[in-house]
Chain A
């Protein structure tokens, strides 16, 4: 996808592949030509913001999130970063996957604090295996650190 913006004679040009366009919140690149034709002012603002983001590295601040949150929806592939950047979700299942992100004040899911370390380690290893299977490496790294910490404490 190619975007050209001219402001006060200064030309900014963007060339984005479909994946990058999606990452920047341009979910529906085919609609951009319509947007430019129908809503020139809004379109200009959108492209302006995009140019600023790409040239200044601006992005939405990432709020602190719970350790147990998945970073990618296994149903639609939408990421938590996509949500932070756009305020949209990918599918109805994202509500469950990103529940902690959507409502950081929500209580942690009830978990038995008296869970024996061996059982906890087994549970975390199972979760790690699932995270690797769905290629959610961010989550996998968090789980790996938790397992290592448990191993160190028991040593």
Chain B
């Protein structure tokens, strides 16, 4: 399996309509494990990282379904490819910075990424679309069980699974959800929400970890493991917080639509106009405009002749494909992506017949 084909395919967490109205895009469960007797990756030498990889990689490949995985040592991946993988959540920011003795593995089902020598010796991210922690949790725990038949894992009865940060030792599990929150972003509420969530052991960060903050109105909300919380308590608390965020996003959408200033409709119309007529388009403009186009579709402002669900998925895929192209262009400086992006956006709208309901405004 080649990396290019993975980068050109829809990611495993691509959204479908669910009970959250497409607000929860996808779910990720992170599991970390370490081998006893080896320094953690942040305190390791090249030799000890290589020794960890030599133990873990054959063990992973011996698990059923992982033999035909994509596998690469980080020092073989260019900046552009790393960035492209980051935009698709196929790497963590920590792993993107790693080099010798650090490996990324993507199984053929593409529902997981396995990282050797990330912040811990072994890190798994399991994905699924929509809001379903249990599905990914089942996948990682199954892999954990199979892997422990081949390698010893650092564990003690007092602390649980041992990690490089003692505060995170325990079950070695963490939950992430990818949220599309255009209305809360538009209403400038994300700052307040982020501060409030910190008090509940939940963190929020921008989806695109490239310093462009809230572009595309996509966020990653994740649980911070507490030493006293059981995995069930952490999951319950986290699911409650996410549902609350979804409710708030829906409430704000309704409120903004009723706003006599028509601010939200204006933003959707501007985004639509930009995509229809632009000749040059930055990646930030594209991400934001696609986000408003999705919102406009969900609110019934834009209607498509094709199946709405497939267009919504295509919009996501288009946005990610453009982000991937932008990242890969770092390897070939000098290409004029703004013009190509504008052409691709106009082309997308031409190919998908639709109606913009001006009367609602």
Task: Judge whether B43 and A30 touch: CB under 8 Å.
Answer: no
- How many Å from the CB of B249 to the closest CB on chain A? 26
Tell me if B110 counts as interface (CB < 8 A to partner A). no
Query: Could you tell me which residues of chain A, from 83 to 106, have a CB within 8 Å of some CB in chain B?
Result: 87-93, 95-96, 102
Q: Which of B36, B83, B167 contacts A92 (CB 8 A)?
A: B36
18 A-B pairs whose Cβ atoms sit less than 8 Å apart in the complex: A27-B43, A28-B42, A28-B97, A28-B98, A34-B82, A34-B96, A35-B97, A38-B97, A76-B39, A78-B43, A87-B167, A88-B43, A88-B165, A90-B39, A91-B40, A92-B37, A95-B166, A96-B156
Q: A96 — which chain B residues lie within 8 A by C-beta?
A: 156
Beta-carbon nearest neighbor of A101 in chain B: B166
- Max chain A Cβ within 10 angstroms of own Cβ: one of B42, B165, B209, B211: B42
Tell me if A16 counts as interface (CB < 8 A to partner B). no
Q: A35 — which chain B residues lie within 8 A by C-beta?
A: 97
The answer to whether A95 and B159 touch (CB under 8 A), given A28-B42, A89-B164, is yes
Query: Could you tell me which residues of chain A, from 28 to 49, have a CB within 8 Å of some CB in chain B?
Result: 28, 30-31, 34-35, 37-41
Task: Judge whether B166 and A75 touch: CB under 8 Å.
Answer: no
Query: Could you tell me which residues of chain B, from 78 to 102, have a CB within 8 Å of some CB in chain A?
Result: 79, 82-83, 86, 93, 96-99
Q: B162 — which chain A residues lie within 8 A by C-beta?
A: 92, 95
Task: Judge whether A88 and B40 touch: CB under 8 Å.
Answer: yes
By a beta-carbon cutoff of 8 Å, the part of chain A in contact with chain B is 22, 27-28, 30-31, 34-35, 37-41, 75-76, 78, 87-93, 95-96, 102
- Count residues of B near A (Cβ-Cβ below 8 Å): 31
Tell me if B210 counts as interface (CB < 8 A to partner A). yes
Tell me if B154 counts as interface (CB < 8 A to partner A). yes
The answer to whether A93 and B166 touch (CB under 8 A), given A31-B98, A31-B99, is no
Task: Judge whether B40 and A89 touch: CB under 8 Å.
Answer: yes
Tell me if B38 counts as interface (CB < 8 A to partner A). yes
- Max chain B Cβ within 10 angstroms of own Cβ: one of A38, A39, A41: A38
- How many Å from the CB of B205 to the closest CB on chain A? 11
Q: A88 — which chain B residues lie within 8 A by C-beta?
A: 40, 42-43, 164-165
Task: Judge whether B79 and A37 touch: CB under 8 Å.
Answer: yes
Q: A28 — which chain B residues lie within 8 A by C-beta?
A: 41-42, 97-98
Beta-carbon nearest neighbor of A88 in chain B: B164
Task: Judge whether A89 and B166 touch: CB under 8 Å.
Answer: yes
Q: B167 — which chain A residues lie within 8 A by C-beta?
A: 87
Q: A89 — which chain B residues lie within 8 A by C-beta?
A: 40, 164-166
Please, what's the 1-or-0 string for B157-180, where 1 marks a CB less than 8 Å from any CB in chain A?
A: 001001011110100000000000
Task: Give complex CA distance A40, B82 in Å.
Answer: 16
Please, what's the 1-or-0 string for B24-45, where 1 marks a CB less than 8 Å from any CB in chain A?
A: 0000000000111111111100
Task: Give complex CA distance A96, B40 in Å.
Answer: 15
The answer to whether A38 and B39 touch (CB under 8 A), given A28-B97, A92-B162, A95-B159, is no
Beta-carbon nearest neighbor of B121 in chain A: A92
Beta-carbon nearest neighbor of B161 in chain A: A92
Task: Give complex CA distance A78, B44 in Å.
Answer: 10
Beta-carbon nearest neighbor of B162 in chain A: A92
Task: Give complex CA distance A40, B211 in Å.
Answer: 7
Task: Judge whether A30 and B99 touch: CB under 8 Å.
Answer: yes
Task: Give complex CA distance A28, B169 in Å.
Answer: 22
Task: Give complex CA distance A28, B117 in Å.
Answer: 12
Top-6 shortest CB links A-B? A92-B154, A31-B97, A34-B97, A27-B42, A90-B43, A76-B39
- How many Å from the CB of A11 to the closest CB on chain B? 23
Q: A38 — which chain B residues lie within 8 A by C-beta?
A: 83, 86, 93, 96-97, 209-210
- How many Å from the CB of B96 to the closest CB on chain A? 6
Q: B40 — which chain A residues lie within 8 A by C-beta?
A: 88-92
Task: Give complex CA distance A101, B86 in Å.
Answer: 37
Q: B35 — which chain A residues lie within 8 A by C-beta?
A: 92
Beta-carbon nearest neighbor of B153 in chain A: A92
Task: Judge whether A76 and B211 touch: CB under 8 Å.
Answer: no
Task: Give complex CA distance A75, B211 in Å.
Answer: 39
Q: B83 — which chain A residues lie within 8 A by C-beta?
A: 38
- How many Å from the CB of B193 to the closest CB on chain A? 20
Beta-carbon nearest neighbor of A22 in chain B: B43
Q: B169 — which chain A residues lie within 8 A by C-beta?
A: 95
Beta-carbon nearest neighbor of B163 in chain A: A89
The answer to whether A102 and B166 touch (CB under 8 A), given A31-B97, A31-B99, is yes
- How many Å from the CB of A62 to the closest CB on chain B? 16
